[in-house]
Amino acid sequence: HQAAEQIVFWKWLGPRMLALVGEKDIYHWNLETASSTPEKIFQRSGKLAEAGTQVISYAANSQLSWCLLTAISTQDQGRTIDGNMQLYSVEKKQQQMLEGHAGGFGNVLTADSEPPSGLFAFMERKVGSLQTKLHIMDVTKPRGEGLPTPFRAQVDVAMPPEAPSDFAVALHFCEKQGLVFMITKAGFLLAFDVSSATMLVRTRVSQDTIFISTGSQESGGGVFSQ
């Protein structure tokens, strides 16, 4: 297949589903179907459409109904790194622009009497601020008058004292244990309980900068590269 534009980032969303991020648009390519071609899902917009912005992550929930594009940029020659995210609803064809460096999706139990919730989590870090906040919310439960309020939790996150300007580079759900893991650029691992957003662990797992990481659905853990 000859792409209509330059592909700047790609990621497997499943065994036969490939996500392609172009300079302008995002595509999903279902390789399960013979002679298939990439399908345009949405267009990059806001800060993520500007030149000089580097895409570092792409994610989608298990139903492929919600997508998240994450990119970084700098306004001061690299002294500070700004993070921007584009959250997109495929069904509603609506988007929300967020400030932060990492986010992800997972299906986790938030109440004993209900099936797993379709959750979205992201680490918010506004431009010009060092304050970090974890947001966890159910994005799949119906909303409306008379319906139960969907699950939502948030908490301020303290960066390690030895790295106060450190920031998240990846967020992974551990669906088996009801946890969300945060990996930072400076090599710290933070674990949070999903149901309360409480931090359970903060420890350094690498002395080197973390560039790439991925979660494991089988073990509930993760792998990262430095």
pLDDT digits (tens, 9 = 90+) for 98-131: 999 999 999 998 887 788 899 999 999 998 888 9
Rounded to whole angstroms, the Cα distance separating 174 from 222 reads 9
> Residue 188: its pLDDT value, please?
92
pTM beyond 0.85, yes or no: yes
166, two tokens: 């450190």
Confidence of residue 4 (pLDDT cuts 50, 70, 90): confident
Q: What is the pLDDT of residues 186-195, one digit of tens each?
A: 899 999 999 9
Is the CB of residue 135 less than 8 Å from the CB of residue 192? no
7, two tokens: 């592909």
- Check whether 132 has a pLDDT greater than 90: yes
Nearest to 10 by CA among 60, 52, 79, 77: 60
- Check whether 225 has a pLDDT greater than 70: no
E strand spans, 74-131: 82-89, 94-108, 117-124
Task: Name residue 48's amino acid.
Answer: L
CA terminus-to-terminus distance, the chain: 32
> Residue 139: its pLDDT value, please?
94
List all residues 6 or more positions away from 55 whose beta carbon is below 8 Å from its beta carbon: 8, 9, 21, 48, 69, 70, 71
Pairing of strands 54-60, 17-22: unpaired
> Residue 28: its pLDDT value, please?
97
Q: What is the pLDDT of residues 30-79, one digit of tens each?
A: 999 888 999 999 999 999 999 889 999 999 999 999 999 999 998 887 78
- Check whether 146 has a pLDDT greater than 90: no
Confidence of residue 226 (pLDDT cuts 50, 70, 90): very low
